[in-house]
Amino acid sequence: ELLKMVPGMDSLTGMIPDDLASNLGNLESVDKVFGVLGLDPGMVQKFAPVILKYLTGEGASESLISGLTDAWGAAK
């Protein structure tokens, strides 16, 4: 669902090693993915609310929003 909703997301996921891409259920893994993409892992907390707001506006399912909120440690 996430890949369909965010333009260009498929090109980013192609840069992430499979072992990290399959385990994004916690903030530590997300921080590692940000590092692989050349982004400061500390930015997760800044990006998360913006991305969640975008996805909510695009009609993302509650399960996707809830899962990302939990994984990213974002406020509900």
Q: What is the pLDDT of residues 4-28, one digit of tens each?
A: 777 777 666 677 776 666 666 667 7
29, 42 Cβ separation under 8 angstroms: no
Give pTM, 2 decimals.
0.63
46, 21 Cβ separation under 8 angstroms: no
Q: What is the mean pLDDT of the chain?
A: 78
Rounded CA-CA distance 16/59 in Å is 26
Q: How confident is the model at residue 43 (pLDDT cuts 50, 70, 90)?
A: confident
